[in-house]
């Protein structure tokens, strides 16, 4: 069993300078996107998330302290999932920019969180 956490990849890959074409085959596979789900004729298109499952986000919200009393609309769950995606992207990009390697692991994320005051609210959290 490995003691080292596995690398975190965003948008399929964190490769800075790919040496082979095969390195590109999964790029964009996990990219978070908001796309309208309705037809072109419908003026009220609702965005659908492509990365975080809405059911999982709803479940996490319900399991949080006081969450059992929350009344969540579909739009509220979508907004929370989109916010979570943005937060994950912010952490991953920041940690990636500070690393000299081609991937980001737990230690990179931890160092990034501890070196930026804007993340003081999550320092010391047990993940």
Position 28 in a domain: no
Q: Tell which residue, 28, 45, 34, 15, has the closest CA to residue 83.
A: 34
What pLDDT is attached to residue 47? 52
**What was the pLDDT predicted at 126?**
64
Distance CA(63)–CA(69), nearest Å, equals: 10
Q: Is residue 35 part of a domain?
A: no
Low-confidence spans in the chain with pLDDT less than 70: 1-50, 124, 126-127
126 occurs within a structural domain: no
Residue 72 lies in a domain: yes
- CATH code, domain with 87: 1.10.20.10
How much is the pLDDT for 81? Answer: 93
Question: How many domains is the chain partitioned into structurally?
Answer: 1
Distance CA 104, CA 111 (A): 11
For residue 68, the model assigns a pLDDT of 79
Buried b (16+ CB within 10 A) or exposed e, 70-101: eeeeeeebbebbbebbeeeeebbebbbeebee
- Owning domain of residue 79: 48-121
For residue 46, the 8-state DSSP code is: P
The answer to whether position 79 is within a domain reads: yes
Which helix (DSSP H) or strand (DSSP E) does residue 86 occupy? helix 74-98
Question: Is there a domain that residue 89 lies in?
Answer: yes
Quick check: is 66 in a domain?
yes
Tell me what pLDDT residue 14 has.
Answer: 40
In a domain, 96, yes or no: yes
């Amino acid at each position: 069993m490995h003691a080292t956490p596995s690398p975190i990849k965003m948008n399929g890959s964190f490769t800075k300078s790919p040496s082979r074409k095969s390195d590109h085959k999964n790029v964009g596979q996990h990219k978070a996107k908001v796309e309208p789900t309705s037809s072109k004729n419908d003026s009220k298109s609702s965005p659908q998330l492509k990365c975080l499952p809405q059911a999982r986000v709803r479940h996490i919200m319900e399991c949080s302290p006081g969450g059992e009393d929350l009344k969540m609309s579909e739009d509220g769950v979508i907004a929370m999932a989109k916010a979570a995606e943005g937060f994950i992207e912010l952490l991953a990009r920041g940690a990636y920019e500070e690393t000299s390697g081609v991937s980001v692991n737990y230690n990179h994320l931890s160092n990034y969180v501890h070196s930026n005051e804007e993340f003081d609210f999550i320092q010391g959290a047990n993940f």
